[in-house]
Amino acid sequence: MALHTLTLDLAPAAPKTRIQARLHVGVTGSSDLEIMMHPEDLSGRVAVTVVTPVTGFDALWTRVLQKFLDDSGLCDARIEINDNNATPAVVLLRLQQALAAA
Amino acid sequence: MTHWTDLQPRSFLEASARDRAIGLVDEGSFTELAGPFDRVTSPHLALLGDAVAFDDGIVTGVGKIGRTPVFVISQEGRFIGGSVGEIGGAKMVTAIKLAIDFHDDLVAQFDDLDEEEKPLVVISFETGGVRLHEANAGLLAHAEVMDQLQKARGKVPVIALIGSKVGAFGGMGFVAAATDVIIMSEFGRLGLTGPEVIEQEMGKEEFDASDRALVYRTTGGRHKFIMGDANFLVENTVAAFRDQVSALAGLSIEAFEEMRRIGSSAKVKAQLRAVALAAEMQPGDATDVWTRAGNTDAHALIDLPLPEFLATVRRLAV
């Protein structure tokens, strides 16, 4: 019954956005999540770790994160997420919020 | 990141624990300790397969208000109801311990310190108490916080702020009661057994937890202020809480001791007189006690704007 950890290695379709400093947004509330982002030289790629009680949605997580990267062009970053049953829309919103806070 | 000046007029009730912590101390002075980037998460929750938080739902750090070093603890109600487990409890304990050690070092080094230059601890409560997932570890954390409060007593003032959505209940209700000063907003709630638990144990006839007006006039800031359980009642803004803390900074430790509600034989006697009064009155509602305190139109106090409430209210004297 341990927590599910999903590790992804993704890249945006067109890399263009880099964050300058680490950041943290959100609270792991019910149906919500918190996100940390760190700048890291990953040759244009983005490393993602999602820690969540939910299983069976790995493909959906991958699609949402890939959409976020394609929309934003974020590259060379490490993203860490603590999730508590957030819906895909909330996940996308929080990712956009994190980038806006950068 | 919200700008400090934008945080000041913000609702304390709706602010996040981190925003409250940053806004309470001077602009740019807050340094978070054991923050989210340190990734100290609960090992118990992970074992149970429950979601974890990078800060375990408690923000701890240090800043200053004017010349006063302020150690801040701020609980986040949105993470498992602000429940206190092993990690969060350890963060609270360490923050208070750091304040005490810092005080002792300062006093040993400088013999001409103003009261204003000595550290304070501020705890913003938003919790129902023990995180049940962590059982004994959570309970032990409460005991250790209590232990630190006793060690701080007479040295480092500990100020409780209660203006959050969850309030301060359960074991942390005891902890709040054991601080030197309690500052509340009218939306803050303070108690031991929470409304839902009272209803569950004693029945809806005894206490209807879905009756929000009843809940607030029994556990809310206005009632606690009249009863003397809260020392100060302030507006629901980050700035109002900050201003009240700022007004207290620099008071002598004797003045803080005087503001305690419990902790001496005289205070115990006053509490016992309040218990005797309750037994004699058998109040059916909080407003019965408000009337007894000398408020002729007790019912009007419920909705009176706060400045008028503060100007006219009579507090219970026992």
**Domains within chain B, CATH numbers bracketed:** 4-190+229-263 (3.90.226.10)
Helix (H, G, I), strand (E, B) or coil at B93: helix
Spans in chain B with pLDDT lower than 70: 1
According to DSSP, the residues that pair with A7 across neighbouring strands are A49
Averaged confidence pLDDT in chain A: 96
Q: Do A32 and B46 touch (CB under 8 A)?
A: no
A84 neighbourhood in chain B, CB within 8 Å: 51
The CA-CA-CA angle for residues B118, B114, B26, to 5°, reads: 55
What's the confidence (pLDDT) of residue B22?
Answer: 98
Q: Under a CB-based contact definition with an 8 Å cutoff, are residues B91 and B131 in contact?
A: no
* Nearest-CA distance B197 → chain A (Å): 21
* Helical (H) or strand (E) element with B80: none
Taking CB atoms and an 8 Å limit, are A22 and B37 in contact across chains? Answer: yes
Q: Which residue of A has its CA nearest to B56?
A: A28
The pLDDT tens digits of the residues spanning B192-237 come to 999 999 999 999 999 999 999 999 999 999 999 999 999 999 999 9
Give the confidence band of A1 by pLDDT, cuts at 50, 70, 90: low
C-alpha to C-alpha distance for A58 and A102, rounded to whole angstroms: 27
* ipTM value for the complex: 0.94
